[in-house]
Structures are given as C-alpha cells and as structure tokens.
C-alpha cells in the first residue's frame, strides 16, 4: 500500500523533466531564431527593414523636364509640354467606373487612336484591373482628349503626362532631329540630330520625396523625410534665328510645291562670326509626327560636285597670287588640257569668241577657269589654295555625321576641271566656310550652330561657343577685289546671276550648274538633271549675310535653273537683311524706302486714335484684340524691326475674343499665342485653314489652340483679307 505514492512521484518527476526539456529546446530555438533575425535582419529571405519601409514609407516622384532647344533669341524650338496617356479601367469591383461593353467601346475608340477595332477589343478583354494602349495611347493631345471625352465611354480615362513638342513643326528638322519615349522605360530619348548628339546635356533625371507614413498613407508628423531634387536637362541655345529660318522654310515650301525637286539644300550664315542663322532642306519632316524617311542632314553630310560656285575660290587664288588680269583676253568655246584628255567646253558649247577674263567670270566660262587653273596658277598651287580654303578636311562644325570630301587629283585633267567645280565633291557647309573668307576680309570663320548650353537649375553656362578663325587663305585686298568681280556676275550685262539682283542691295555671288554623276556612264543628261545653285553675299560693300541655295533636279518645264534658286535666295536674303535692319545701298536708299524694314514704335498706353495717327504713314497691318479704347499690350514689342504688311497685334482689354485666323501665316499665329499666352499646336505648313478655338470665343490664358496649315491661301480668303486691310486702312 505504501509503494504507490513512490511510483506516482517518480512519474510526476519524469513528466516534469520531459516538459522542462521541451521548454528548454523551444526556448533555445526561439532564442536562436531571435538571435538570427537580430544578426541578419531577414525573415524567410526578406529584409525586415525593407518590409517595414514598404509598409510605412511612401515615395513621391518629383518630375524633371528635358532641356529645351531654343533659337538665338530664346524662342523655343523643342520643349516638353503637357499631354495625356489613355487608360481603360477593367476592375469590375469599381462599379460604374469600369468598361462594361468592350465591343462597343472598341468600335468608337479605335478610329480615334489609329488602331484596329479587334486590337482594341482584345486589350479591353484582358484579365487585368487596368490597361494601356501602347504607343497609340501615349502623347494624346488636348484636342484628341476632348474628342474621346465627348464619346462618354465608361471606363476610359486619362493620366496626365508630358511629351516632346516642336512648336514650329517642320523647322530645321534635320538639324534639330527628334526625341521620343522609350516604350519600356518611358524615358524621353534623343533619336536623331541635336536631340541625340546633345543627349547628355538635354537628358533629365526625376527626383523623389520619401517619407514615413501610417498604414493609410498619411505622413507622420515627426517621421523621417528624404528629398532628392529633380535634375532638369540643360537648355541648348542655337545660333539659328527663328525668323530667318521661317523665311527659309516658307520659300523652300513654295519651291518644293511648284518644282518638285529631288533635293533642296539651303544655309544662311553670318560671315563675321561663322554663326549659322538658318539651315534647311527638302524633303523634310515634322518631328511631332516623325514622318521621316531620310536621316541625313545634307548641309553637312552630302558631298557633291559643286559646279561653278567653286570658281569663286579659283578666282580668289589667282588674284592672291597676282596672276589674274581681268582685262586680258582669251579664246572661249573649248580648251584642251592635254592631248589625251577630253575637250573642255563652255556651257553654250561654242563660246563667245575672244573675250576678257572678267567677262569670262560673268559668263561662267569653263574655258576661262581651266586656263586660270592650269596656265596662270598651275594645278599644284590651285590645290594648295583649295586646302587653305578648307576643302581637303571637315569644317569641324558642332553637328554629328559631317562627311569627308573628295579632291580628285588622280590625273592632271581632274585637277584642271576641279577649277570649275568638277572632279571634286564638297559639302554645302564647306562652301559656306570658304565663302566667309571672301566676305570677311580674308579671315575664314569656322561655322557653328550651338551658341551656349545652360544648366537651368544652377543658372550656369555649361558650355559656350565663340567665333573661331579657321584660317586666312587670302588678304583683305584680294577679298575686296573678288567681291567687286562677283558683283558684276549679278549686275553686269553678261552676268549669269542677273536673276539674283535684289532692289536696294548690291549682291556679290556666283551661280552653279553642276552635272550629276551617273556611275560608269559619266553624267546624267537632260536640262533638269543638274544641281542648280547660287552662293551669294550682301551687301557687297560689307557683307552681313551669306546664303547658299542648291536645288537638285527640279521639274523646270523649260524654265531656267536659276528661277527656283532665286525664289529662295532673293526672298531669304532680302527679308533677312531688312529684318536685321541692314541699311540698303546708298544709291538706292530713297527708292527703297517703302521696302525696307520699319522699327515698331511703342503703342502701349496710347489710345486707338493716337496709335492710328502714329502708324498712319507706315505700312503696318494692325489687328485689334479686345473692346477697350486704350492699348494695354502689343506684339511685336516696341523697337522690333518689322517688314511691310506684317501683322502688329494690339490688345485693348483683358477680355479678348478669338479672331478669325483663317488665312494667317504660322508666324502671325505664333505672335497671337505669345501675346495671349496660348498653348499652340500646329499641323502642316503654309496658311491656316482650320482653328480649334472658334471665332468669337472668349480666350483664357493657357487655352490650347490647334491650327491646320496648308501651302496655299484660299483665293476667296485672300480677297477677303485684302478687302479687310483696305477697309481698315480707310478707318485708320
């Protein structure tokens, strides 16, 4: 009877020992786990700190902007602007907010975003809470957004975004290039032109704000906060002048439309500095649409036989060496450089008999320049001067993909014909650089397009380009003599450059009619199969501008090749000289008084009546905006040089109604947008045919104005505009 308690006690003790052992093992495991977590900071491979940050930390992106590309006066050529991204909500839990009828939605939406109906329907039937529409759903404009909103499609909405915008459309496009968003990263990346070559300066980097929050996302009062400021891209200022570039674009459009050439290449430069003021070509493209199929900037990347414009530099070399006598005579018509070489002929085949070398320059005689190159200079010395003028190397302009040139010296015949622009292949930019020596007292200036690059965050100039002398191939005296002779090419009785005369200004220059190589077959035949060109400087007494125009294979229909070239050269040179307030030649000042640019007076704070009296004798086209009696603002600003019939906008009240801008040029619409602070988007080029803000609507600051442009002003609108101007003139 006394043994049972002993057995019982033993069982209890054994059980207690086992339990103690179990608890000890568990404690050890827990302690070991705690120690492991404490040491590594991880649970199941996940860092606890990171998990805590995810639960109690919020990050907000601080958006940065890609650097702007601006002209020399700070006018935007490329900039970031607001756009929208299209999305569809498919989450059925969001009742009343999700897409309920994919088929009907796809049918209405597809035509507006340029997608097939079945493709949109497939996207809308995805097993997802929210979907996007790829490239077709990005960069949605305000106009398109409004059209989609008007459909009132349930579940279709937008996220505010930004896009790269080119306010001038087709405008120095092969120079500027374009940037677009990467599909995977969403980053805007330069793909071509300056947008690509200066990517490291233009590229932006978003910043962020990181803060501690509660589970609902509310910021904790005393929580940690981390701010990394956004890095905006640097602004790039070009030497391009928006107004001169517009003169060039408009004139090229007209020639391209009328003569349908294979190519048009044109450059405007300041010979004193080497700055490029305008640069363009046709065919071209609108960087907003990226409708591009040719990726070369022909001004720097297209070497070709220049033809007779090369005679300028052969002439300069002969004068510099003292071997040129303009009054000496030679027999024109044909010339044999060597016994086995082909006969060199003048362009009229038979020549003009015995004429002076000065007349030979005027008539653009190949024979005259063959004699100068071979007999007077000698071809070796001629090639030395070609080297001095920079034709044997790249200019080093601050643009990508500058092409190498070819100075063919395989035979003596090649050297001789290079004196008048054959057997050599040079780029337009090389001709511009060489011409600066003629126009700038013998000093040859290196061409450049980038003026400065500015870090806008630090307000600091990162890079500054300045005028650089590339050499001095000739003396000032020689340059003056060359200009005198080249002026007779334009004004002289026998000059081939007569179509390039500009009233009020003496022009010095040289025409070119270059044959187009046809591989082993020699050269293309036919009147149209040439590159017609003109390299001109004005005013001759002290050239302020150099303009080169080259047109390849225009459809002339029996007209002279100089006709389309002069349409561009004369328009651009004359308007640019007037815009820059370059005084006309002394002898023609009086006759040219009406044609030259006027300086706009200060009209602000004056009454309409006072303004009318001020401009009564000036040929201005005033557009009144508002219904007040006193002028509160004007555009262009006072002291701006404007040309005849240019629109001057004056604002007379804060409340302004939208005018009828059908028939306006893009330049004039840009003035309106600038004055009234509108966001402008344009499509096409030429004159306005459609406007999104209706005539008579009250305009608000920041309103989006979209215009459609076409090459030709409708005849009835042109007549209405003329009648309106006459009526306004009578009222004033």
Whether the pLDDT of residue 597 is over 60: the answer is no
CATH number, domain of 249, equals 3.40.710.10
Distances, alpha carbon 6 to alpha carbons 13, 14, 16, 19, 668, in Å: 11, 12, 15, 20, 114
pLDDT at 44: 57
Same domain, yes or no: 313 and 429: yes
Q: What average pLDDT does the structure give for the chain?
A: 86
Q: What value does the mean pLDDT take over residues 303-320?
A: 96
Same domain, yes or no: 270 and 410: yes
pLDDT at 46: 55
Question: Among all chains, which residue has been given the structure tokens 């070489």?
Answer: 341
Q: What is the pLDDT of residues 246-273, one digit of tens each?
A: 999 999 999 999 999 999 999 999 999 9
Q: Is 688 domain-assigned?
A: yes
For 192-206, 284-298, 472-486, 632-646, which range has the lowest pLDDT when averaged over its residues? Answer: 632-646
Q: What value does the mean pLDDT take over residues 272-277?
A: 98
Alpha carbons 502 and 510: distance in angstroms, whole number? 14
Same domain, yes or no: 152 and 187: yes
Alpha carbons 243 and 413: distance in angstroms, whole number? 45
Name the DSSP letter for residue 473: -
Higher local confidence (pLDDT), 606 or 119: 119
Q: Is 231 domain-assigned?
A: no
pTM > 0.85: yes or no: no
Q: What value does the mean pLDDT take over residues 28-56?
A: 62
Same domain, yes or no: 583 and 548: yes
Q: What is the pLDDT of residues 608-666, one digit of tens each?
A: 878 777 766 566 677 888 888 888 888 877 766 566 556 788 888 888 899 998 888 77
Same domain, yes or no: 555 and 627: no
Other Cβ atoms closer than 10 A to 169: 21
- Report for 168-172, 334-338, 407-411: range of highest mean pLDDT: 168-172
Among 41, 40, 62, smallest CA distance to 53 is for 41
Give the number of domains in the chain: 4
Same domain, yes or no: 505 and 403: yes
Alpha carbons 543 and 441: distance in angstroms, whole number? 10
pLDDT at 74: 94
Report CA Rg, the chain: 36
Same domain, yes or no: 671 and 645: yes
Backbone angles phi, psi at 444, to 5 degrees: -95, 125
In the chain the first and final C-alpha atoms are separated, in Å, by: 138
Of 173, 308, 364, 533, the catalytic one is: 308
Alpha carbons 301 and 430: distance in angstroms, whole number? 11
Q: What is the pLDDT of residues 382-420, one digit of tens each?
A: 999 999 999 999 999 999 999 988 888 889 999 999 999
308 is catalytic: yes
The residue segments making up the domain with residue 76 are 65-203
pLDDT at 650: 85
Same domain, yes or no: 250 and 102: no
Same domain, yes or no: 98 and 179: yes
Same domain, yes or no: 367 and 500: yes
* % pLDDT > 70, the chain: 86
Q: What is the pLDDT of residues 61-104, one digit of tens each?
A: 788 999 999 999 999 999 998 888 899 999 888 877 889 899 99
- Report for 469-483, 627-641, 673-687: range of highest mean pLDDT: 469-483
The domain boundary, picked from 557, 588, 619, lies at 588
Same domain, yes or no: 46 and 161: no
State the pLDDT confidence band at 6, using cuts at 50, 70 and 90.
Answer: low
Alpha carbons 270 and 528: distance in angstroms, whole number? 31
Same domain, yes or no: 530 and 651: no
The domain boundary, picked from 25, 42, 59, lies at 59
The domain boundary, picked from 59, 78, 106, lies at 59
Work out the widest C-alpha separation in the chain, in whole angstroms.
Answer: 159
Q: Is 225 domain-assigned?
A: no
Alpha carbons 233 and 204: distance in angstroms, whole number? 4
pLDDT at 167: 92
Higher local confidence (pLDDT), 439 or 675: 439
Q: Is 596 domain-assigned?
A: no
């Amino acid at each position: 009877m006394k043994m049972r308690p002993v057995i019982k006690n033993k069982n209890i003790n054994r059980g207690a020992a086992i339990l103690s052992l179990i608890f000890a093992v568990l404690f050890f495991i827990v302690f070991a786990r705690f120690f492991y977590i404490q040491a590594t900071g991880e649970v199941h491979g996940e860092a606890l700190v990171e998990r805590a940050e995810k639960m109690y930390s919020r990050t907000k992106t601080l958006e940065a902007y890609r650097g702007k590309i601006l002209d020399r006066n700070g006018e935007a050529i490329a900039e970031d602007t607001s756009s929208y991204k299209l999305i569809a909500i498919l989450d059925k839990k969001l009742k009343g907010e999700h897409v309920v009828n994919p088929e009907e939605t796809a049918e209405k939406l597809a035509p507006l975003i340029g997608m097939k109906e079945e493709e949109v329907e497939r996207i809308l039937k995805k097993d997802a809470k929210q979907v996007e529409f790829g490239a077709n759903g990005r960069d949605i404009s305000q106009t398109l957004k409004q059209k989609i909103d008007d459909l009132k499609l349930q579940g279709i909405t937008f996220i505010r975004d930004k896009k790269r915008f080119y306010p001038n459309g087709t405008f120095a496009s092969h120079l500027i290039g374009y940037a677009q968003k990467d599909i995977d990263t969403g980053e805007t990346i330069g793909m071509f032109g300056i947008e690509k070559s200066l990517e490291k300066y233009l590229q932006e980097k978003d910043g962020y704000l990181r803060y501690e929050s509660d589970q609902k996302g509310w910021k904790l009062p005393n929580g940690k906060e981390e701010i990394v400021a956004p890095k905006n891209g640097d602004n790039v200022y070009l030497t391009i002048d928006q107004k001169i570039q517009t003169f060039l674009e408009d004139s090229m459009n007209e020639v391209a439309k009328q003569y349908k050439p294979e190519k048009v290449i044109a450059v405007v430069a300041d010979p004193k500095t080497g700055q490029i003021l305008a640069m363009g070509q046709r065919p071209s493209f609108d960087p907003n649409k990226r409708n591009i199929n040719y990726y070369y900037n022909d001004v720097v990347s297209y070497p070709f036989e220049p033809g007779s414009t090369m005679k300028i530099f052969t002439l300069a070399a002969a004068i510099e060496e003292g071997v040129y006598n303009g009054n000496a005579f030679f027999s024109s018509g044909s010339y044999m450089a060597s016994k086995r070489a082909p006969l060199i002929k003048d362009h009229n085949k038979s020549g003009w008999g015995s004429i002076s070398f000065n007349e030979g320059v005027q008539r653009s005689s190949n024979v005259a320049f063959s004699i100068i190159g071979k007999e007077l200079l000698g071809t070796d010395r001629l090639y030395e001067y070609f080297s001095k003028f920079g034709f044997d190397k790249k200019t080093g302009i601050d643009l990508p993909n500058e092409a190498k040139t070819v100075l063919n010296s395989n035979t003596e015949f090649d050297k001789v014909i290079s004196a008048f622009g054959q057997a050599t292949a040079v780029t337009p930019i090389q001709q511009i650089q060489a011409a600066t020596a003629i126009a700038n007292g013998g000093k040859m200036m290196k061409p450049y397009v980038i003026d400065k690059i500015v870090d806008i965050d630090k307000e600091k100039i990162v890079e500054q380009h300045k005028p650089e002398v590339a050499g001095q191939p000739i003396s000032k005296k020689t340059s003056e003599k060359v200009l005198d002779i080249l002026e007779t090419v334009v004004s002289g009785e026998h000059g081939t450059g007569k179509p390039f005369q500009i009233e009020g200004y003496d022009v010095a220059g040289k025409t070119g009619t270059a044959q187009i190589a046809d591989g082993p077959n020699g050269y293309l035949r036919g009147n149209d199969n040439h590159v017609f060109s003109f390299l001109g400087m004005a005013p001759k007494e002290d050239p302020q501008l150099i303009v080169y125009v080259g047109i390849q294979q225009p459809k002339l229909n029996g007209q002279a090749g100089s006709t389309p070239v002069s349409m561009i050269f004369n328009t651009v040179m004359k308007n640019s000289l007037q815009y820059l307030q370059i005084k006309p030649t002394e002898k023609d000042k009086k006759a040219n008084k009406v044609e030259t640019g006027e300086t706009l007076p200060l009209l602000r704070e004056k009454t309409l009546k006072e303004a009318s009296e001020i401009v009564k004798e000036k040929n201005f086209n005033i557009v009144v905006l508002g219904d007040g009696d006193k002028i509160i603002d004007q555009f262009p600003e006072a002291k701006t040089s404007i040309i005849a019939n240019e629109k001057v906008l004056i604002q007379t009240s804060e409340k302004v109604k939208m005018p009828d801008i059908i028939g306006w040029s893009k330049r004039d619409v840009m003035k309106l947008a600038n004055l009234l602070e509108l966001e402008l988007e344009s499509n096409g080029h030429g004159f306005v045919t459609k406007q999104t803000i209706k005539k008579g609507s009250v305009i608000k600051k920041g309103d989006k104005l979209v215009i459609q442009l076409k090459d030709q002003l409708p005849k009835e609108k042109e007549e209405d505009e003329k009648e309106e101007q006459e009526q306004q003139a009578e009222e004033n």
